[in-house]
Structure 1
Amino acid sequence: MVEQTKKPFILGLGGTTNPTSSTEVALAIALEAAAAAGAETELFGSDRLMALPHYRSDPAGINQTGKDLVALVRRADGLILSSPGYHGTVSGLVKNAIDYIEETAADERIYLDGLPIGLIVTAYGWQAVGSTLAALRSIVHSLRGWPTPLGVGINASGGMFRDGVCADAGVNDQLKLVAEQVMQRAEAR
C-alpha cells in the first residue's frame, strides 16, 4: 500500500490595487516556485484585498472575503507575504489583510504559531525596501510566525517586472529560494 502525503498548502497574501504590480507579480513567481516544489498554492491578491472592509473585531463587520481569508490562513502550512513599501512601511491594504489574522486568536494554533512565513517587499528605492522588510518581520514575530532566513527586497524602480515576468535572473532566484525555504519548513511540520 502506497502512503499518500498531503501537499503543503502555501498561501500567498499581498499585492496592491493593481494585479499586475511588481508586488503581486513577485508573489505569483514565488508561489509558482512553491507549486513546482510540490505545494498547493493560492494567491490572495489585489481584487480580494480591495474587497476586504477595514478590519474590526466584530463578526458582523467581516464580509465573505474576510471569512474566506481567515479560512485560508487557518488551512495554511506556510505563507508568503508580499507588500509594497509605501512611505517606508507596509501598505495599508496589506496590513488590513494581516489584521484579519486576529480572528485566529482563540484557535488551537494561535495566529501564525510555528508557520514558516516568506517575505517579499517591492519599492521604488532601497530605503523603503529595508524598513518595510523590517516591519513585516516584526509583524510576523508578533503573530508567532517564523520568517524565513531570506526576505526578498526588490528595488523595482528599474521596471524589471513586465507582463507577469521578472527580467532580473537574480531576483527570480531569490523569489524561488524564499519559496523553497517556506516549503522546507512546511514539510518539516
Structure 2
Amino acid sequence: MDQVTTGDIDRQRPLVVGIGGTIGAVSSTERALCIALEAAAQQGFATRMFGGADMARLPLYDPRATTRTPDERAFVDAVRGASAVIIASPGYHGSISGVVKNALDLLEETAKDGRPYLADMPVGLIATAYGWQATGSTIAALRSIVHALRGWPTPFAAAINTQVTRFDDEGGASDPAVVEQLRLIGRQVARFAPLARVAAESGQ
C-alpha cells in the first residue's frame, strides 16, 4: 500500500488520505478520487491514496484478530496521521461497496486512540454509479458512516453518474463541471483541516 498521488509523503506537510475504488482495473471511482486529491495537493497537502488494489489486499475485518497484516497496519497508520480524508465509493445495489466498507470497518483499530476513528477530521465524499438513483443513496450511506465515525462530512459531496460522464487516463473527465466539483471537494477538506486541528487541540 504505497501508492502516493503526489510523490513521497512529506512529513512536514499535513496529509489527506484518499480511500476508494473497485477491485480490478482502475475505475471511474479512483479517477474521480485522484482529481479531488490533486486539488488538495495544490493547497499544500501531502496525499496518499488507497485504491481498489490496496483495499483488495485487506482481509475481511475480524474484530477478534490479535494481529494485523502489514497492509492493514499501513492503512490504519495512514489514517491516524491524516488531517483529512476523502472517501469515494461506487454505488453497489444502492449503497457503498464491500471493499470500501471493509476498509472503514478496520478503523475500529483506532477506537482507543486519543483521536479515535475519524474524529475531528473533515471528510470529503464521492459516489459514482451508472445512473442517478444509486449516487444519492450511496452519498447518504457515506454521510451516515462518517457521522458514526465522528468525522465531519464537508458541505459538498460529489454524486457522479458514469452513464453520462466519462473519465480519461490523463486525469480529466468529459464534463468540466464534474471535474470542478471534485476539485471543490479537495479544496474543502484542505480548507477545513486547520479548523479541525484547532477544535481537537482545544478539546471541543
Q: Same fold (TM over 0.5)?
A: yes
The Cα of 1:20 is off from its aligned counterpart by: 1.9
Counterpart of 1:184 in structure 2 is: 191
Q: Does 1:123 align with 2:129?
A: yes
Amino acid across the alignment from 1:83: S
Amino acid across the alignment from 2:64: D
Q: How many Å separate the matches in 2 of 1:69 and 1:175?
A: 23
Amino acid across the alignment from 2:178: V
Counterpart of 2:176 in structure 1 is: 169
Aligned length: 185
2:13·2:44 contact (CA, 8 Å) conserved in 1?
yes
2:172·2:179 contact (CA, 8 Å) conserved in 1?
no
Structure with bigger helix share is 1
Q: Does 1:28 align with 2:34?
A: yes
Does the residue aligned with 2:136 lie in a helix, a strand or coil?
helix
Structure 1 residues without counterparts, runs of 5 or longer: none
Does the residue aligned with 2:91 lie in a helix, a strand or coil?
strand
Cα distance change on mapping 1:128 and 1:61 into 2, 3 Å: farther
Identity across the alignment (%): 51
The Cα of 1:61 is off from its aligned counterpart by: 5.4
Which aligned runs of 4 or more in structure 1 are off by greater than 2 angstroms? 58-62
2:40·2:190 contact (CA, 8 Å) conserved in 1?
yes
Q: How many Å separate the matches in 1 of 2:158 and 2:132?
A: 12
Structure 2 residues without counterparts, runs of 5 or longer: 1-10, 198-204
Counterpart of 1:56 in structure 2 is: 62
Does the residue aligned with 2:123 lie in a helix, a strand or coil?
strand
When structure 1 is superposed on structure 2, of 18-27 and 68-77 the one drifting more is 18-27
Does the residue aligned with 1:34 lie in a helix, a strand or coil?
helix
Q: How many Å separate the matches in 2 of 1:70 and 1:49?
A: 12
**Where do 1:36-185 residues align within 5 Å?**
36-60=42-66, 62-163=68-169, 164-185=171-192
Structure with bigger strand share is 1
Q: How many Å separate the matches in 2 of 1:160 and 1:82?
A: 16
Deviations 1:88-133 (A, max 9, x none): 0000010000001110000000111110000000000111000000
Q: How many Å separate the matches in 2 of 1:54 and 1:182?
A: 29
When structure 1 is superposed on structure 2, of 98-107 and 51-60 the one drifting more is 51-60
Superposition CA RMSD, Å: 1.4
Q: How many Å separate the matches in 2 of 1:183 and 1:159?
A: 25
Q: How many Å separate the matches in 2 of 1:106 and 1:66?
A: 17
